[in-house]
Amino acid sequence: MKNLLSDRINSLPTSATLAMAAKARELKTQGIDIIGLSLGEPDFNTPDFIKDAAIQAINDNYNSYSPVDGYAELKDAIILKFKRDNNLDYKPSQIVVSTGAKQSIANVAQVLLNPGDEVLLPAPYWVSYSAITTLCEATFKEIPSSIENDFKITPQQLEEAITPKTKMIFFNSPNNPSGTIYSETEYRALAEVLEKYPDIFILSDEIYEHINYGAKNFSFAAIPSMYDRTITVNGVAKAFAMTGWRIGYIGAPEWIAKACTKMQGQITSGTNCIAQRATITALNESPDRIQYMVDEFKVRRDLILDLLNDIEGFKTNVPEGAFYVFPNVSYYFGKTLRGKTINNATDFSLYLLEEAHVATVTGEAFGNADCIRISYAASQEQIVEALKRIKAALS
Ligand code: GLU
Of 271, 229, 325, nearest to 101 (Cα)? 271
Looking at the CA of residue 128, tell me the nearest atom of ligand 1: 9
Integer-rounded Cα Rg, in Å, for the chain is 21
The arithmetic mean of pLDDT across residues 280-304, rounded, is 96
Q: Name every residue whose Cβ is closer than 8 Å to that of residue 288 and which is 6 or more positions away in sequence.
A: none
Give the closest residue (by CA) to ligand 1 atom 10. 40
Atom of ligand 1 nearest to the CA of 127: 9
pLDDT of residue 66: 97
In 3-state terms the chain splits into helix, strand, coil percentages (rounded to 5) of 45, 15, 40
Gap between the Cα atoms of 389 and 158, Å rounded: 40
- Distance from the CA of 265 to the center of ligand 1, in angstroms? 25
Residue 176 Cα: closest atom of ligand 1: 4
The single-letter DSSP state of residue 145 is -
Helices (H), 136-174: 155-161
Choice from 12, 126, 373 to test ligand 1 binding pocket (greatest atom count within 8 A of CB): 126
Which atom of ligand 1 lies nearest, measured to the CA of 102? 8
pLDDT in tens, 68-123: 999 999 999 999 999 999 999 999 999 999 999 999 999 999 999 999 999 999 99
Q: 253, 94 in Cβ contact below 8 A?
A: yes
Taking the CA of residue 100 as reference, the ligand 1 atom at the shortest distance is 8
* Buried-exposed string 201-227: b where 16+ CB fall within 10 A, e elsewhere: bbbbbbbbbbbbbeeebbbbbbbeebb
Predicted TM-score of the model (pTM):
0.96
Confidence (pLDDT) at 1: 87
**Do β-strands 230-235 and 248-251 pair in parallel, antiparallel, or remain unpaired?**
antiparallel
Strand partners, 250: 96, 233
The preferred substitution site among 15, 18, 178, 242 for testing ligand 1, maximizing ligand atoms within 8 Å of CB, is: 18
Name which residue sits closest to atom 9 of ligand 1, judged by CA: 17
Q: Report the separation in Å between the CA atom of 175 and the middle of ligand 1, taken as the mean of its atom positions.
A: 12
Counting Cα atoms < 13 Å in the Cβ hemisphere of 234 gives: 28
The helix (H) or strand (E) run that includes residue 238 is none
- Mutate which of 23, 25, 39 for ligand 1? The one with the most ligand atoms within 8 Å of its CB, which is 39
Report the alpha-carbon distance of residue 38 to residue 169 in Å, rounded: 26
Residue to mutate (ligand 1; options 20, 37, 38, 128; most atoms within 8 A of CB): 128
| 154-206 pLDDT per residue, tens | 999 999 999 999 999 999 999 999 999 999 999 999 999 999 999 999 999 99
**Which of 38, 104, 127, when mutated, tests ligand 1's pocket best, judged by the most ligand atoms within 8 Å of its CB?**
127
Q: Taking the alpha carbons of 44, 47, 51, 54 in that order, is the dihedral positive or negative?
A: negative
What is the DSSP track for 94-138? GEEEESSHHHHHHHHHHHH--TT-EEEEESS--HHHHHHHHHTT-
> Separation of 250 CA from ligand 1 center, angstroms?
18
CA 18 to centroid of ligand 1, rounded, Å: 7
Q: How far is the CA of 204 from the centre of ligand 1 (A)?
A: 17
Band the pLDDT of 394: cuts 50, 70, 90. very high
* pLDDT at residue 228 in the model: 98
Q: How far is the C-alpha of 138 from the C-alpha of 148, rounded, in Å? A: 31
Find the range with the poorest average confidence among 15-29, 325-339, 377-391: 15-29
Amino acid at position 31, single letter? G
pLDDT digit string, tens, across residues 245-278: 999 999 999 999 999 999 999 999 999 999 999 9
Q: Distance from the CA of 321 to the center of ligand 1, in angstroms?
A: 15
Cα 8 to averaged position of ligand 1 atoms, centre (Å): 22
Q: How far apart are CA 14 and CA 63, in angstroms?
A: 33
What residue ranges line ligand 1, CB within 6 angstroms?
A: 15, 17-18, 39-40, 102, 126-128, 176
Count, residues in the chain? 395
d(CA 345, CA 329): 7
Which of 356, 362, 347, 365 is CA-nearest to residue 390? 356
CB 169 within 8 A of CB 120: yes
Determine the pLDDT at residue 210.
97
- Residues in contact with 10: Cβ distance below 8 Å, sequence separation at least 6, in sequence order: 3
CA distance 330 to 314: 8
The span from the CA of 25 to the CA of 92, in Å, is 41
Q: How many CB atoms lie within 10 A of CB 44?
A: 15
CA 279 / ligand 1 centre spacing (Å): 20
Domains of the chain: 2-45+290-394 (3.90.1150.10), 62-285 (3.40.640.10)
Q: Give me the pLDDT at residue 45, please.
A: 97
Per DSSP, 62 falls in state -
- pLDDT 10s digits, 214-238: 999 999 999 999 999 999 999 999 9
As a whole number of angstroms, the distance between CA 367 and CA 328 comes to: 13
Distance 41 CA to ligand 1 centre (A): 7
For residue 233, report the distance from its CA to the centre of ligand 1, in Å: 15
Alpha carbon 217 to its chain's center: 16
Q: What is the mean pLDDT of residues 378-395?
A: 97
